[in-house]
Amino acid sequence: MGATPPLSPLAPAAFPDLPTIGGVNFATTSAGVRYQGRTDVMLVTLAPGTAIAGAFTRSATRSAAVLDCQAKIGGDPTEGAAIIVNSGNANAFTGSVGDKSVEAVTGAVAERLGVPTARVFSSSTGVIGEPLPHQRIIDSIDTLKGALSPDGISGAARAIMTTDTFPKGSSETVMIDGQAVHIAGIAKGSGMIAPDMATMLVYIFTDAAIDQAILQSTVTALNRTTFNCITVDSDTSTSDTLLVAATGASGIRVTENNIGFMEGLRRVMLDLAHQVVRDGEGATKFVEISVTGAASDAEAHVHAKAIANSPLIKTAIAGEDPNWGRVVMAVGKSGARADRDTLSIWFGEMLVAKDGWVSPEYDEEGAAAYMKNQDIEIHVDLGLGGGTATVWTCDLTHGYIDINADYRS
């Protein structure tokens, strides 16, 4: 974590130009949580009336900050709210000491900003098992308060990075009754990514006016096909947090099942999820795995994740080897229903296996050439039913070992 890792070859050309969201202000600072001279704390303030929804890791060892956020979601939105995030230390597996750190930080933010403690949400990301030096964060609050700006979202995206090689942002504008509603989000994540809810840390903001219950049900539904469909290394973080805040500053009310708003939010969530995969530790390939013909959607997802998480498949992709036999292996071991004699596999548009046997059309040279692409698609049809799923992952290279062997140094 000490040295800046080289930029991912899958990184976007630049951080996007995100719109200002009414009712949201950002500030960042260097508090020295783990390293000196690195921006490592961000503060977000939210206007009174902001509805906040969330999704969180289902890890049995989730952090104190996650537990605190879970307890606060769905509270009275009348007064203002705040989000404070630090990088460098996850404050996870720190027992009652971690709980006291969360209480101290959120309490101090509440006092300095004049908002209820029940409306202060915190997140921490970084090394697990070390006490959070929370006084350093508390000592930075006045500096953060003085620096708050509606234009600070790009700095916020950088402040929450750990092994990330680039800050992640996304936005959409949707029209509702002829008026524009803006959505903008940031994320961090690079390793320990096999979300059982979201990615490591994600914060999305909109100026739409929406009831908390409707926002929560929307976020929960969209999460299933976005953040819960990515994996870098099959490891679920203790700190995964997704918070979505709707300030209502536009005055445009979103009602239940508004397709335009849901689609705009879905695109932001999926774009951020894809960026996390494209920044996978050591990644050189972005891989889409789609499964059709499963006995159910749930079983299709099991098969897709088995393929995406297989070290043999991920290293074959890194080595640009079209070893479709490893896909057969992953389907067979997944635990979901499969039939050897109805299984077909494609690499891109190339049919490599059909009905339980190598395809007569299979071209080894063509398949090897396809594997040189940065973006790879693997499609499996099980021939059993109507179940479908799509999962996104990356390859597994020696760079992953290098990053994680030095993570605590």
Query: Which amino acids are annotated catalytic?
Result: 199
Three-class DSSP category at 24: strand
In Å, the largest CA–CA distance within the chain is: 71
Three-class DSSP category at 209: strand
DSSP letter, residue 253: B
Residues 289, 224: Cα–Cα separation, whole Å: 16
Nearest to 206 by CA among 171, 165, 163: 171
Residue 29 backbone dihedrals phi, psi, to 5 degrees: -160, 170
The CA-based angle 264-216-188, given to 5 degrees, is 65
Q: Which amino acid is at 101?
A: S
Contact 388, 300 (CB under 8 A): yes
Question: What count of other Cβ atoms lies within 10 Å of the Cβ of residue 60?
Answer: 7
What angle do the packed helices 297-309 and 325-333 form, to 10 degrees? Answer: 130
Residues 188, 207: Cα–Cα separation, whole Å: 22
Residues 121, 200: Cα–Cα separation, whole Å: 15
365: Cβ–Cβ under 8 A, 6 or more apart, which residues? none
